[in-house]
Structure 1
Amino acid sequence: MALPGAAADLVMVEQAGCHWCAQWNAEIGPIYPKTEEAARAPLRRVDLRDLPDDIAFTSPPVFTPTFVLVEDGQELGRIEGYAGDEFFWFVLGNLLDTHDVTAPGAE
């Protein structure tokens, strides 16, 4: 679930048996909640086969993992797949900056 007051979420679309999801979980999962990126967009996990009704995806996610930046129920952008930690942090930073996502209370 999102943190109170957070304007955006990073929705991780995953599925059981996904090798790349497992790799993300091992490399990023434990540290993500402690990062500036998590303060800006807390992680919300959803299953590919049970997508929530409260998100208007621009198109249905097909690949796992897919990371969807969501604000007020609307998709702002996405990262499809996981190509390693450096690439993930770089693309996520650009996505957050492009959409001017800030942590609650940050000015």
Structure 2
Amino acid sequence: MFRCIVNATTRAGVVRLALLLCLASFLTAQPRAAELLMLEQPGCVWCQRFDEEIAPGYAKTPERKAATLRRVDITEDWPEDLADIRKGRLTPTFVLVDNGEEIDRLRGYPGDNFFYSLLGEMLAKLPDDKRASDREAER
């Protein structure tokens, strides 16, 4: 009888482990969302202006659903996951990245009157399946 209980417990553990591995595989297989890298550096007055005019509301925009904002300080070590992305020296520079590949780049901050229209042009260059899923998320 003890042997049956141990076998049942072991089988349940193996099944549980297999389910966890399947779930982990599913979650990691999902395509990553596009990112809008903001290359910045300390003392950048245009970065500060972006922080005042755009940054507070960006998280609530449809553009944020298409590309999360990720800040990268160019004076620090370059992140390993961005090894294929050119660093640049002008700040701010906005780089649209999808699955580790650069899609487009905007050098400088054009002000709040033009930022979203230029960003819209960048986002239009994302693969069709990304843009379609972003439109579905807006509904």
Q: Structure 2 length normalisation: TM-score? A: 0.67
Task: Quote the Cα distance in structure 1 between the aligned partners of 2:54 and 2:96.
Answer: 17
Q: Of the two structures, which has the highest relative contact order with CA contacts closer than 8 Å and spacing of 6 or more?
A: 1
Q: Find 2:53's aligned residue among 8, 27, 31.
A: 27
- 1:48 matched to which residue of 2? 74
Query: 1:98 Cα deviation (Å)?
Result: 2.2
- 1:86 matched to which residue of 2? 113
AA aligned to 1:52 is: P
Task: Quote the Cα distance in structure 1 between the aligned partners of 2:122 and 2:89.
Answer: 20
Query: 1:6 Cα deviation (Å)?
Result: 4.5
The question of whether the paired residues in 2 share the 8 Å contact of 1:12 and 1:44 is answered with yes
Query: 1:87 Cα deviation (Å)?
Result: 1.4
AA aligned to 2:68 is: P
Q: Which runs of 5+ in 2 are unaligned?
A: 1-29
Q: Deviations over 1:51-102 (max 9, x none)?
A: 2121221x32111001100111111111110021121111100110122443
Q: Find 2:101's aligned residue among 53, 68, 74.
A: 74
CA RMSD of aligned residues (A): 2.2
AA aligned to 1:78 is: R
Task: Quote the Cα distance in structure 1 between the aligned partners of 2:120 and 2:135.
Answer: 17
Instruction: Indicate the structure (1 or 2) with the bigger Cα radius of gyration.
Output: 2
Q: Structure 1 length normalisation: TM-score? A: 0.85
Are 1:18 and 2:44 an aligned pair?
yes
**Larger helix proportion of the pair:** 2
